């Protein structure tokens, strides 16, 4: 852990920036009733944040091959807080909610991947998994704390007040970023155009790692978008009132997923020791099994659902830093920004599709079958990601991963 103080500072910036990101998901059962949304529309509003992220990815991230990532991160953190404040202040229906979630997502890309690049370029490959793992874990800590804090604040503040409270905390992120990076040397610039280089699409090993990541994000965002409504529906069936079921469902999901961030801190170190594809495949396979079963358990008592959700959370995000680390190892140095841009774009494109597909299945099949089918489709996609990792493990370029530990 020596010399990681500034990494922890960057991790705090990312967590703070993400505190408002899942407030909508935590309040979703209440918003659906207030705005009269279908499940498909509700899923699209959730995914609009990822659409904004993906739209900015292909423009902003290649710039990190040419400009200093540090200032991009600090400015983007400020813009993210401002963008997130618009949703609870002005959103009132499907159209306005989708637009404002889109705007809030635009700035996140300027925080997440530039911070990862700063970290990756300061550590050699054999020691990179751990620091990148710490940083990526903060993504999950911030998002899951968003659900937990919103659930705790809902009874007292209502969903708009709870949302604004998380935005207030996110506003501290730019200052923390400046403090963490003020003494770090600038990232060396490459001789690159600052625009997306399509040559990265010929890097088959990197594309395989991206395929695993895309499957992971499809499953992750499907679960993140719909776990609270699922738990709330289960609690409603057990006699809870709507507001009480939503607040309790968000709190249970937040607790389970915040605790589930713990293995993310260690998964990067595990992949340094045991190999990238082996470690990622174990976690992704475990979360797939949870996805294939959770949606059929709505009749279980809340404490049993919490236990299964906790197991789900332990597997669901743990593999995320491994894909990002692998891509930095498989990328050509002069195209690292473009490679990370494509990696992030494909991942969040899948993150857009997962929640919408879930909502569409829920609309088509109804609650009796829809919850099982919605989570189940995410599990099937996760198994496809495991297959991509198996192929990468057998590829000759696998020797580039973790200094030969595939």
What string of DSSP letters covers 232-285?
Answer: HHHHHHTT--HHHHHHHHHHHHHHHHHHHTHHHHHHHHHHHHH-HHHHHHHHHH
Give the model's pLDDT for residue 399: 67
Average pLDDT (15-40) is: 93
Task: Give 374 or 402, the one with higher predicted confidence.
Answer: 374
Superfamily covering domain 5-404? MFS general substrate transporter like domains (1.20.1250.20)
Dump pLDDT digits (tens) for 181-192.
876 665 554 544
For the residues 70-97, what does the mean pLDDT come to? 91
- pLDDT at position 405: 58
Question: Is pLDDT of 282 > 80?
Answer: yes
Tokens of 129: 């998994």
In the prediction, which pLDDT does 89 show? 94
Percent of residues, the chain, with pLDDT higher than 90: 42
pLDDT score recorded for residue 114? 81
Q: For the segment 114-131, what is each residue's pLDDT rounded down to a tens digit?
A: 887 788 777 776 676 677
pLDDT of res. 187: 55
User: Is the pLDDT assigned to residue 15 strictly greater than 60?
Assistant: yes
Residue 305: pLDDT above 50? yes
Mean pLDDT on 400-405: 60
DSSP collapsed to 3 states, 159-214: HHHHHHHHHHHHCCHHHHHHHHHCCCCCCCCCCCCCCCCHHHHHCHHHHHHHHHHH
Give CA–CA dist 362/306, Å, rounded.
Answer: 22
Give strand ranges (E) for 111-183: none
Residues 319, 279: contact at Cβ < 8 Å?
A: yes
Each residue of 359-388: pLDDT tens digit?
Answer: 999 999 998 899 999 999 999 999 999 999
The interaxial angle of helices 204-237 and 302-316, nearest 10 deg, is: 170
The predicted structure's pLDDT at residue 243: 85
pLDDT tens digits for range 307-347: 899 899 889 888 888 888 888 888 877 777 778 778 888 88
Instruction: For residue range 208-228, list pLDDT tens digits in order.
Output: 999 999 999 999 999 988 999
Average of per-residue pLDDT across 68-89: 88
Is the model's pLDDT at 95 over the cut of 70?
yes
Residues whose CB is less than 8 angstroms from the CB of residue 392 and which lie 6 or more positions away in sequence, other chains included: 205, 208, 209, 212, 277, 326, 398, 406
Q: Is the pLDDT of residue 193 over 50?
A: no
- Average per-residue pLDDT in the chain? 85
Least reliable range by pLDDT among 20-34, 83-97, 240-254, 337-351: 337-351
Q: How confident is the model at residue 1 (pLDDT cuts 50, 70, 90)?
A: very low
């Amino acid at each position: 852990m020596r010399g990681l103080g500034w990494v922890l500072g960057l991790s705090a910036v990312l967590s703070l920036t993400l505190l408002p990101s899942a407030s909508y998901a935590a309040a979703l059962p209440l918003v659906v009733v207030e705005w009269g949304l279908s499940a498909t529309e509700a899923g699209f509003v959730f995914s609009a944040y990822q659409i904004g992220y993906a739209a900015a990815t292909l423009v902003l991230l290649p710039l990190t091959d040419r400009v200093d990532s540090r200032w991009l991160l600090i400015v983007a953190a400020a813009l993210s807080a401002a963008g997130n404040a618009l949703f609870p202040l002005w959103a009132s229906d499907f159209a306005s909610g989708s637009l404002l979630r889109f705007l809030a997502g635009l700035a996140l890309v300027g925080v997440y991947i530039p911070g990862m690049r700063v970290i990756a370029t300061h550590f050699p490959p054999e020691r990179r998994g751990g620091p990148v793992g710490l940083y990526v874990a903060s993504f999950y800590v911030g998002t899951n704390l968003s659900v937990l804090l919103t659930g705790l604040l809902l009874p007292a503040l209502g969903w708009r007040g709870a949302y604004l409270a998380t935005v207030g905390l996110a506003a501290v992120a730019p200052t923390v970023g400046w403090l963490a990076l003020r003494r770090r040397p600038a990232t060396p610039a490459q001789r690159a155009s600052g625009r997306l280089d399509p040559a990265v699409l010929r890097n088959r090993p990197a594309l395989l790692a991206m395929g695993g990541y895309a499957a992971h994000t499809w499953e992750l965002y499907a679960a993140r978008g719909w776990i609270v409504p699922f738990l709330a529906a289960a609690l409603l069936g057990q006699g809870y009132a709507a507001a009480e079921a939503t607040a309790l469902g968000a709190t249970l999901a937040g607790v389970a997923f915040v605790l589930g961030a713990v293995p993310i801190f260690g998964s990067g170190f595990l992949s340094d020791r045991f190999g990238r594809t082996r470690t990622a495949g174990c976690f992704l396979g475990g979360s797939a099994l949870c996805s294939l079963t959770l949606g059929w358990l709505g009749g279980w008592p809340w404490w049993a659902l919490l236990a299964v959700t906790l197991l789900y959370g332990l597997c669901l995000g743990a593999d995320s830093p491994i894909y990002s680390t692998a891509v930095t190892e498989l990328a050509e140095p002069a195209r690292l920004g473009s490679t990370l841009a494509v990696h992030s774009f494909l991942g969040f494109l899948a993150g857009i599709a997962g929640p919408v597909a879930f909502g569409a299945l829920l609309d088509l099949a109804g609650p009796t079958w829809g919850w099982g089918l919605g989570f189940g489709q995410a599990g099937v996609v996760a198994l496809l990601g495991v297959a991509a990792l198996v192929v990468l493990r057998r590829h000759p370029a696998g020797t580039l991963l973790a200094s030969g530990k595939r």
